[in-house]
Amino acid sequence: MSQATPLGAGPGRGEPLLAVSGLRKYFPVKGLSFGGPSLVVKAVDEVNFAVWPGETLGIVGESGCGKSTTARLVMRLIEPDSGQVRFEGRELAGGSNASLRAVRSRMQMVFQDSYSSLNPRLPIEDTIAFGPRVHGTPRAEARERARRLLAAVGLDSARFGRRYPHELSGGQRQRINIARALALNPRLVFLDEAVSALDKSVQAQVLNLLVDLKAEFNLTYVFISHDLNVVQYISDRVLVMYLGKVVETGPVDVIYNAPRHPYTQALLSSRPSMDPERRITVPPLTGDPPNPINPPSGCRFRTRCSFAEEVCARVEPPLLALPCGGHDVACHMMVPNSGHSRAGQAS
């Protein structure tokens, strides 16, 4: 049992494309603390992970667990309170605008809401060409690239290029979103709930497209979603978050077939059974996720965990690598001599 490296997992896989360590963001809560102690939402708290070139890392968790904030912090759309981000072997230090602009073309994001993520007053071709234009590509060349990308995401540029977002269906708009993200030739794409708002039949089309584009453009994905099935389908590795903390990470098969953290286990068994003859009879968890303002002490999951003991309230469990490698869990039950009565039994 060893302290997990900030990189999370995976010896012998070379240098990660993206390495995040100690990432933290507390949002102050306004209006609730007049005169009293100031309240903060611990949105992302000491998060470490790494992404290797060519893989898809899935990030799952319930609303308010910090998965979207994590992506925005790495992209520096929100300024982190602290933490290091290494991308393509270089440290992204705070401040310098020029380096940030250069990095931003290499790291892109696809948003969930296909309506609010496209400018309603701009023909979609111009939306896609906007990124290359601000990076100095001549107008004609930028437009040409936009047309090629429209074709790459399966839309006929002659028919669609001059249309406005409201003239397209949700699925088509999400394809435009993807094309826009690819317009700057990124290496890493954050997909923030990118298929969640789509109808199932359209969702499947877009998932197929994402798989194709990944191969064609040699991309690396960070796929953020609350949909456990979609994450299982598309990811190579999975990161499970709860109230701003990483609770478990590992290869997708290991996480889905042998989850070790009680939260991951509950989350996975909350999925509908897809078989009306074998319905779920007892809810795996009771109650709602606690308010991220003043999260529980120690292990943040302890208030809903059926194995919680005294040590869980006192000590925060570190994210530790299991001996099998590549699988990290933050739970006292996984740590021998942690003080939990079940400590070390499972491993």
Partner 1 sequence: MSSSFAVATSAISTGDRLVEVNDLTVRFVSKDTTIHAVNGVSFTLAAGEVLGILGESGSGKTVTLRALMRLLPEGRTQIGGTVRVAGHDVLGLSPGALSRVRGSTIAMIFQEPMTALDPVYTVGYQIAETVVRHENVSWAEARRRTLDLFEKVQIPSAQRRLDAYPHELSGGLRQRAMIALALSCRPSVLLADEPTTALDATVQIQILLLLRSLQKELGMGVVFVTHDVGVAGEIADKLAIMYAGRFIETGPVTPIMRAPRHPYTEGLLASTVHGAMRGQRLKAIQGSPPNLEILPAACSFAPRCPRVADICLAGVPPEVPTGPDRMARCVRITQN
Partner 2 sequence: MNPAGRPLSDAAATRVLSGAEVPVGRRDGRGYWTTVAVRLSRDPLTLFFGIVLLLIVASAVFAPGLAPTEPDATNVLKRLAPIGTPGYLLGADELGRDMLSRLLYGGRLSLLMGILPVIGALIIGGGLGITAGFIGGRLNMLVMRTMDVFYAFPSVLLAIGLVGAFGSGIVNLLISITVILSPPIARVAESVTTQVRTYDFVEAARASGAPTFAIIRVHVLANVLGPILTFATSLVSVSIIISAGLSFLGFGVQPPIPEWGLMLSTLRKSIWINPYVCALPGLMIFVTSICFNLLSDGLRNAMDVRLG
Residue 100 to residues 53, 68, 136, 147: CA-CA distances in angstroms? 20, 20, 16, 27
Closest CA to 67 of 43, 42, 41, 92: 43
Binding partner 2 (rule: CB under 8 A), the pick from 62, 88, 113, 236 is 113
- Does residue 165 bind partner 1 (CB under 8 A)? no
Residue 78: CB minimum distance to partner 2, A: 10
Residue 247 near residue 329 (C-beta atoms within 8 A):
yes
Binding partner 1 (rule: CB under 8 A), the pick from 122, 152, 204, 313 is 204
Q: Which is nearer to partner 1, 195 or 343 (CB)?
A: 195
Residue 108 to residues 71, 74, 135, 177: CA-CA distances in angstroms? 10, 10, 14, 11
Closest CA to 290 of 48, 63, 33, 25: 63
- Does residue 275 bind partner 1 (CB under 8 A)? yes
- Does residue 104 bind partner 2 (CB under 8 A)? yes
Sheet containing 56-60: order of strands:
2-3, 320-321, 328-329, 245-251, 237-242, 56-60, 220-225, 188-192, 107-110
- Does residue 254 bind partner 1 (CB under 8 A)? no
Judged by beta carbon distances under 5 to 8 A according to partner kind, the member of partner 2, partner 1, none in contact with residue 281 is partner 1
- Does residue 322 bind partner 2 (CB under 8 A)? no
User: What six digits make up the tokens of 50?
Assistant: 């790494």
Residue 63: CB minimum distance to partner 2, A: 17
Q: Which is nearer to partner 1, 228 or 311 (CB)?
A: 228
Stretch that binds partner 2, among 1-9, 16-24, 49-57, 157-165 (CB under 8 A): 157-165
Residue 75 near residue 52 (C-beta atoms within 8 A):
no
Judged by beta carbon distances under 5 to 8 A according to partner kind, the member of partner 2, partner 1, none in contact with residue 287 is partner 1
Residue 344: CB minimum distance to partner 1, A: 27
**Distance in angstroms (rounded) separating the CA atoms of residues 285 and 233:** 24
Binding partner 2 (rule: CB under 8 A), the pick from 162, 271, 314, 342 is 162
Q: Token match 């109650």: residue? A: 287
Print the binding letters for residues 166-205 with partner 2: x by CB under 8 A, - otherwise. xx---------x--xx-xx---------------------
Element (H, E) at 101: helix 97-106
Q: Which is nearer to partner 2, 41 or 255 (CB)?
A: 41
Closest CA to 117 of 50, 226, 190, 194: 194
- Does residue 135 bind partner 2 (CB under 8 A)? yes
Stretch that binds partner 2, among 41-49, 85-93, 97-105, 232-240 (CB under 8 A): 97-105
- Does residue 93 bind partner 2 (CB under 8 A)? no
**303-312 contacts, C-beta under 8 A, 24 or more apart:** 304/263, 304/266, 305/262, 305/263, 306/262, 307/262, 307/333, 307/340, 307/342, 309/339, 309/340, 309/341, 310/339, 311/338, 311/339, 311/340, 312/340
Tell me, what DSSP letter sits at residue 301?
A: T
Tell me the number of residues near partner 1 by CB under 8 A. Answer: 47
- Interface contacts to partner 2, rule CB under 8 A: 75, 77, 100-102, 104-105, 107-109, 111-113, 115-123, 127, 130-131, 134-135, 162-167, 177, 180-181, 183-184
- Interface contacts to partner 1, rule CB under 8 A: 62-63, 169-172, 199-205, 207-208, 211, 226-230, 232-233, 252, 256, 266-267, 270-277, 279-289, 291
